[in-house]
Amino acid sequence: ARAVKRQAAGTQNSIDEEHVLALILKEDGLSEQECKKKLKKYCQELTEAKLNIEQVHRKLKGFCEDGKADTKCKELKANIEKKCTTIKGKLKEAIKKKIQIITDKDCKENEQQCLFLEGVCSKELKDDCNTLRNKCYQKKRDKVAEEVLLRALRSDLNGSVICEKKLKEICPVMGRESDELTNLCLNQKETCKNILIEKDKKCGTLKTDVSAALGSFKKETCLELLEQCYFYIGNCGDDDIIKCIELGGKCQEQNIAYMPPGPDFDPTRPEATIAEDIGLEEFYKKVEEDGVFIGKNHLRDATALLALLIQDSSLKKKDDKEKCEEALQKSCKNPHEHEALESLCKKNGLSNDGTKKCEELQNDINKTCKIFTSKVTNNRLFDPTKGNNEIVGWEGLPTFLSNEDCAKLESYCFYFEKKCPDGENACKNIRATCYKRGLDARANKVLQENMRGMLHGSNKSWLEKFQQELVKVCEKLKKENKGSFSNDELFILCVQPAKAARLLTHDLRMKTIFLRQQLDQKRDFPTDKNCKELGRKCQDLGEDSKEITWPCHTLEQQCNRLGTTEILKQVLLDEHKDTLKDQESCVKYLKEKCNKWSRRGDDRFSFVCVFQNATCELMVKDVKDRCEVFKKNIKASYIIEFLENNTNKITTLERNCPSWHTYCNRFSPNCPGLTKENSCTKIKKHREPFYKRKALEDALKVELQGKLTDKSKCEPALKRYCTVAGNVNNASISGLCKANTKDNSGKSDEDARKELCEKLVKEVEEQCKALPTELGQPAADLKKDYKTYEELKKRAEEAMNKSSLVLSLIKKNESNVSKSNSKNKDKNAVSNGLQDTTKHVKILRRGVKDVSVTELEAKAFDLAAEVFGRYVDLKERCNKLESDCRIKEDCKDLEEVCKKINKACRNLKPLEVKPHETVTESTTTTTTTTTTVADPKATECKSLQTTDTWVTQTSTHTSTSTITSTITSKITLTSTRRCKPTKCTTGEEDDAGDVKPSEGLRMSGWNVMRGVIVAMVISFMI
């Protein structure tokens, strides 16, 4: 589970009746007459919506009663102006403080007062409130950046030297993630100084919180504290680490565990980035809940960097060109701090490009400022040409900027604020706009989530219903947050239902527009990330917007195709074949699979089967890319050398072999590079001792069924078993009963048995937790498919009866030749002794004319073949599921699901077959003159396809005419399952290889009237 931030408690207790009136009336409503007029309008809106004012908020009680408005309005102006004077003094004190010094309390209290009073005292408060918000907003952004670096430096951070060394490693990557991170990476000495101070604060806070949690344990605190422990405890003392471990144990008892961010182990994927390792994306989403959106640094060129560097107040030069050279000379001592420095520096000094860039810098800055100014003007944030050259009040800030717009404009401000005309005032409006957008967004999100389907409409009845529902939702949210709203922006919307209707619908409209723009760019070729993010937005906004219905439908289709393609790719990789090594192999194999699925009515992959070439192109490209990464990761990890050096250390092999072995099995057939270098072959060789022991341990689990619930039952049972194994000289099993002398551990045999029991009990315990859930769906699918199989088998039997088609079992002798052929010298016999045991099989089609096969016979033939195909599939699934159910005696939760599996598998039977023997001996000599007319086309063979696979089913349809010749049409059905059928020789020769004898199934039907034999032979191996 991921850590989820707890909802902050609201602070509306400091808000009184006059604050609410100020919010409703604004500056032009403080006079007595305007006050009465606006209050009357406000009350009328509530009445029309059939709302009682006390329902909206208890502090508004009595506002709308007759005569009360007159009393409220008489002294209101004086009282509010008094409040404005008080807050103005506090603001002046707060904004004098530097960003690093201003406190959270300064921000929280003063921002709240600004929110309610700025609208009525605009002239007195507007500029100072803007300055305060800019400082508080920047403080939040700086704090986020420091915390990101603390997460990235989460261990052994015990001095500035180590800190600076680590920063040099991570800054080239992390500096790109935000403007503030860029700034921290450009001033690494100062950054390390601040980070070490922040680290000590974190450790102190964490120690207090963890101790408190252990003292009065509440499972609700687990995830948040465990996340803090994961990221920050590595830089704290040993005692703190022990307390975090203790907390982890207590939380584990409540089945709560913190899942660290980052992808799971996958050697076919590139190494996780620092951002993935620290869960940066998830962290930024939580920060957004505080109204702060952090976008990537959008300006990384030399002009932007130099414009920032020359703003350093410590520079002695006055001219920008000279400042540029001085700043570069300083920065070139550490050119790794920013990628742009690489071309500007040379040997700790300026390069020719650096000198030239400083000469051109002012012109480049002027060009950039023109671009910046046009963006500011277009977004109506600041425009001196139209008299709009002032700080904009909170309520007057634009609401149509997207997150992307904010990130770009804030990057311009970060680099060029002090270099562009009117840049500072313009950037104050920009930051205030983006801050307001974030704060409003969290309030809007909460209400929109609770009012889906009601956010579109414009008539009077809709407005009435909307306001009534809004009041109910607000009451619910307030109750959930212990009697107050989680933030002031939410409170403001709830006390102004009519205004909330306008704001929420407008906000939804803007979200829809931004989503439509994203969909137009990405819906046809989305990535997995696009599917998750845009799909979620489509789901959220779709209930209230018809405009995005079709674009979202297109996205859904493409994402379904992408998801199904990924599932198909995993299915094909699990077959351990080379079907994804190139486009040709993939298309050929996928065509066969799609035909098979179509015949069986399996529509899981119907969508990708329609676009086979495109599907294969996606899968083959992805596998090819992953093969390259896999090959590099095998070399980079030195896994082959590691396994070679630890061949005798079973525990070490156990930790490393399964993961690498799985990927080798799946990818090596499709990765020519791996096969060529024998990388996976070497890995398989070194892991053999582990898998041999693993096979023995699995066999031992079966022998000790019912004794693996705890060690007290396992140890005596294992001791008895080991004694028996020793008496019968079973060297393989008895090897488990003794200590491994090769690893020099010095353990006794008894210790080895105890350790083995502990391991087996733990394995079974883990399986018991996972298997009941994992087997649920396969068991349901098995039941459903078994039912389908029985219905199909019944249809096949009926069709065979109608067409007189009979199944018979062909006996084989020791030479693997059918007995009916062992003494038969007749060349026209239906069975000629040829064993279809080739590994490389060709499916042939003979050009035959006038073969008389009825529709009933053909139908019976096809149904029988389909039944045997499904039987093989179900039998294999049964073997796997029944194998998983072997531990059911040690796992009560498995009993129910395994009962269903065993029932289906126990009742699974193939089509009825009968033993069949034909012995023909003839000693009569007959002289016959025969004229044979041969059809020249009868022996023409057309190669349809070549497959490299195990033959698991063979159907032979033989038509024998007593007048001319024997004509054979042969169909080979193959299974993609990982069974172990009889190996094959070439089908073009009569001599069978040295193979294990097996029996085949033959179906034959006799129609006396036409004198034609129709036979079908199906061979299969379970």
pLDDT digits (tens, 9 = 90+) for 789-804: 899 889 888 888 887 7
What average pLDDT score do residues 347-351 get?
88
Ordered DSSP codes for 332-398: TTSGGG-TTHHHHEETTEE-HHHHHHHHHHHHHHHHHHHHHHHHHHHTTS-BGGGTB-SPPPGGGS-
* pLDDT for the residue 745: 61
* pLDDT for the residue 969: 37
612 or 954, greater pLDDT = 612
Given a cut of 90, whether residue 151 has pLDDT beyond it is yes
pLDDT digits (tens, 9 = 90+) for 915-934: 555 555 554 544 444 444 44
* pLDDT for the residue 741: 63
Given a cut of 70, whether residue 879 has pLDDT beyond it is yes
DSSP strand pairing (1012-1018 vs 1000-1007): antiparallel
Alpha-carbon 544 to chain mean position:
28
Token output for 46: 């509530």
* pLDDT for the residue 657: 79
The model's confidence at residue 838, banded by pLDDT at 50, 70 and 90, is very low
Given a cut of 70, whether residue 830 has pLDDT beyond it is no
Given a cut of 50, whether residue 327 has pLDDT beyond it is yes
**Chain mean pLDDT for the chain:** 81
Q: What is the largest CA-CA distance in the chain?
A: 136
* pLDDT for the residue 894: 87
Closest CA to 788 of 873, 861, 896, 857: 873
Given a cut of 90, whether residue 47 has pLDDT beyond it is no
Alpha-carbon distance values, 134 to 415, 468, 820 (Å): 16, 36, 96
The model's confidence at residue 203, banded by pLDDT at 50, 70 and 90, is very high
pLDDT digits (tens, 9 = 90+) for 684-700: 888 788 888 888 888 88
The model's confidence at residue 961, banded by pLDDT at 50, 70 and 90, is very low
* pLDDT over 70 percentage in the chain: 81
Strand order in the sheet with 951-960: 914-916, 805-810, 1000-1007, 1012-1018, 951-960, 966-974
What average pLDDT score do residues 179-193 get?
92
The model's confidence at residue 968, banded by pLDDT at 50, 70 and 90, is very low
DSSP strand pairing (914-916 vs 805-810): parallel
* pLDDT for the residue 951: 44
Model-level pTM? Answer: 0.78
* pLDDT over 90 percentage in the chain: 41
Alpha-carbon 599 to chain mean position:
33
The model's confidence at residue 937, banded by pLDDT at 50, 70 and 90, is very low
* pLDDT for the residue 178: 93
Token output for 806: 């009979």
- Helix, strand, coil in percent for the chain, rounding step 5: 65, 5, 30
Q: For residue 619, is it left (φ>0), alpha (ψ between -120 and 50) or beta?
A: alpha
Ordered DSSP codes for 73-107: HHTHHHHHHHHHHHHHHHHHHHHHS-TTT--HHHH
Given a cut of 80, whether residue 999 has pLDDT beyond it is no
